[in-house]
Amino acid sequence: MHLLPKLVTLWRNRPEEFTPRRMLKDVTSGLVVACVALPLSIALAIASGVTPEKGLLTAIVAGFLISLLGGSRVQIGGPTGAFVVIVYGIIQEFGLSGLLTATLMAGIFLMLMGLFKFGAFIKFIPYPVTTGFTSGIAVVLFSTQINDFLGLNLTNIPSDFFAKWNMYFHHLSATNWETLAIGLLTLGIIIFWPKKWKALPGSLVALIITTLVVKFARLDVATITSTFGSVDSTLVWPHMPGEITLATIKKLLPASLTIAFLAGIESLLSAVVADGMIGKKHRSNMELVATGVANVASALFGGLPATGA
């Protein structure tokens, strides 16, 4: 029972929940999630140092599999902000192929963790450890976005935190004020829109409004097309990321374990929070297995590491 997807259990034991009225609400909720995931997955992919379609692929593949196979009724899967710094570092050291292989290995580790019922042990990790870890990632992630937020167009930015900020301060005179204004407008909409209107997600509203402002005001700001070229819409088929040898596995083992650990922690913490909101219990081991399957699939489709959120 502990390794049975929650959706299967509901379908077998509580078919009354699958009424047309309930399904309509679920479809509506799914559309809202998709609207939020669209700009978010693109932004996370860009921040990770890859092209936008990698984020979209991850949101589609991992989102579907974690919902289908997961141990929570309401868990949503995809790329998350906690992975950005880690993914960026892996790509810098091992390239995109190395990231995909590490993600594939992490998915296998997660499935093994679930099969051997490690879910209960992961939940005992002290909460301050996880909050400190994610807070540190948030600070580093924030620091990596200042260049684009101010429109500085700097290259060869140091990886060291203090050296990075020192470089920013010495180039403040190069700030693109139009870019900064659009960034502040976007941030303001995301923060304040939900306080008045909750029917539409703030991130989607911000995406639409700021895009229209840039278009019709002819502002001199970078766009996804000007930075990355047109988004590749070619249909992607699953394939191995490259030749996997014993030397490759040994080299990528630390990176893959980091991905697996972070994905497992974030997924289970998110599931626990969701339990408190809906008054239900998730299956931690099945959640780990589903997250593992999602990461294997994401790697085969050329996507990013994924977890529940």
Q: Which residue, among 306, 305, 303, has the nearest Cα to 241 in the 3D structure?
A: 303
Report the range of poorest mean pLDDT among 34-38, 129-133, 187-191.
129-133
How many distinct structural domains can be found in the chain?
1
pLDDT for 128 equals 81
In a domain, 140, yes or no: no
DSSP SS3 for 306: coil
pLDDT for 145 equals 86
In a domain, 242, yes or no: yes
Q: What distance lies between CA 82 and its chain's CA centroid?
A: 8
- 3-state class percentages of the chain: helix first, strand second, coil last, to nearest 5: 75, 0, 25
In a domain, 113, yes or no: yes
In a domain, 178, yes or no: no
Q: Percent of the chain, pLDDT > 70?
A: 93
DSSP SS3 for 308: strand
Higher pLDDT: 125 or 71? It is: 71
Rg of the Cα trace of the chain?
A: 20
Q: How far apart (Å, rounded) are the C-alpha atoms in residues 146 and 167?
A: 11
In a domain, 156, yes or no: no
Burial of 110 by CB count in 10 Å (0-12 exposed, 13-18 middle, 19+ buried)? Answer: buried
Instruction: Return the structure tokens found at 7.
Output: 């959706």
Q: How far apart (Å, rounded) are the C-alpha atoms in residues 122 and 125?
A: 6
State yes or no: pLDDT of 2 exceeds 70.
no
Q: How far apart (Å, rounded) are the C-alpha atoms in residues 284 and 178?
A: 47
Q: Which residues pair with 308 in a beta bridge?
A: 77
Q: How far apart (Å, rounded) are the C-alpha atoms in residues 96 and 230?
A: 19
pLDDT for 11 equals 66
Query: Tens digits of per-residue pLDDT, 42-91?
Result: 888 988 889 889 999 999 999 999 988 888 888 889 998 888 889 988 99
Which range of 108-122, 156-170, 187-201, 287-301 scores highest in mean pLDDT? It is 287-301
In a domain, 15, yes or no: yes
DSSP string, 176-244: -HHHHHHHHHHHHHHHHHHHH--SS-HHHHHHHHHHHHHHHHT-----HHHHH-SPP-PPP----SS--
Q: Which domain covers residue 279, as residue numbers?
A: 6-125+224-308
pLDDT for 188 equals 95
Higher pLDDT: 14 or 114? It is: 114
Query: Tens digits of per-residue pLDDT, 232-279?
Result: 777 788 889 888 899 999 999 999 999 999 999 888 888 887 777 777
Q: How far apart (Å, rounded) are the C-alpha atoms in residues 40 and 304?
A: 13
Q: How confident is the model at residue 35 (pLDDT cuts 50, 70, 90)?
A: confident
In a domain, 103, yes or no: yes
In a domain, 288, yes or no: yes
State yes or no: pLDDT of 226 exceeds 70.
yes
